[in-house]
Amino acid sequence: MKTHYYLGWFNNFFPENLSKVLQEDITERKSLVMISSNPSIYEEVGATERSWLDQAGIMFDEYHVINDIVQKENAQTLIQNASVIFLLGGDTLKQNGFLMEYELSDSIKKSTAVVMGASAGAINMSARWFCSKNLGYKVEKSSVYDGVGLDDFSVLSHFDLENNMALVQGELSPLSEEMDIYASNKDCAVRVKGNKIDIFGNVYLISHSKIQKLDDSL
């Protein structure tokens, strides 16, 4: 059964109830494979995200980071053998380009691993996502990017929704006519397990230009 976690950002650690469901979902713990969001930087990559799992008592026999030091063929093998694939937070555009360059999307979709993403990583897990300077990207022209496409929806993760609700609704309305968008700030998660979607924290659904807060179900 496919299990995907679209995370915001956790300044401390995973709360107890989120840790509990992660422990239940992550039964195989042979290999954690982390995909960099800035593949040319090699130090301390994934340290924060790994600390969340450590604190939750979820340890692995092996830890790997896929960046531009890793050969494309080796990256594919790491993905195929992963127990958990974690798309790291950071630079959404650089990570998106790296995923395309290394042709990792199909391998991730075919994997039986639990797939997680935090902030930029969660955005890139989604089917499509909207990029504009109003949403914090250093771009002149707004555009829609293809993500890995694990699930048929879009994600806006780790964005200050509470103070920018009208802006977010205005920016994302056109895309929301095509697909549902799950928008969240910090300390939030959307879990897809099989055909069921669960919510943790303050997560909003934008659909057909309307926005509504979803009930916590984790």
- Region 145-158 average pLDDT: 97
**Domain map of the chain by residue range?**
3-213
Domain boundaries 3-213, corresponding CATH code: 3.40.50.880
What's the sign of the alpha-carbon dihedral 162, 166, 167, 168? positive
- Region 113-137 average pLDDT: 97
Nearest in space to 168 (alpha carbons), one of 139, 203, 117, 120: 203
Predicted confidence band of residue 218 (pLDDT cuts 50, 70, 90):
confident
**What is the per-residue pLDDT across 178-198, written as a single tens digit (0 to 9) for each?**
999 999 988 999 999 999 999
Nearest in space to 154 (alpha carbons), one of 187, 186, 177: 177
**What is the per-residue pLDDT across 45-87, written as a single tens digit (0 to 9) for each?**
899 999 999 999 999 999 999 999 999 999 999 999 999 999 9
165-171 contacts at long range (C-beta below 8 A, 24 or more positions apart): 165/211, 167/134, 168/135, 168/206, 168/211, 169/206, 169/209, 169/211, 171/130, 171/132, 171/134, 171/135, 171/142
Q: How far apart are CA 195 and CA 186, in angstroms?
A: 25
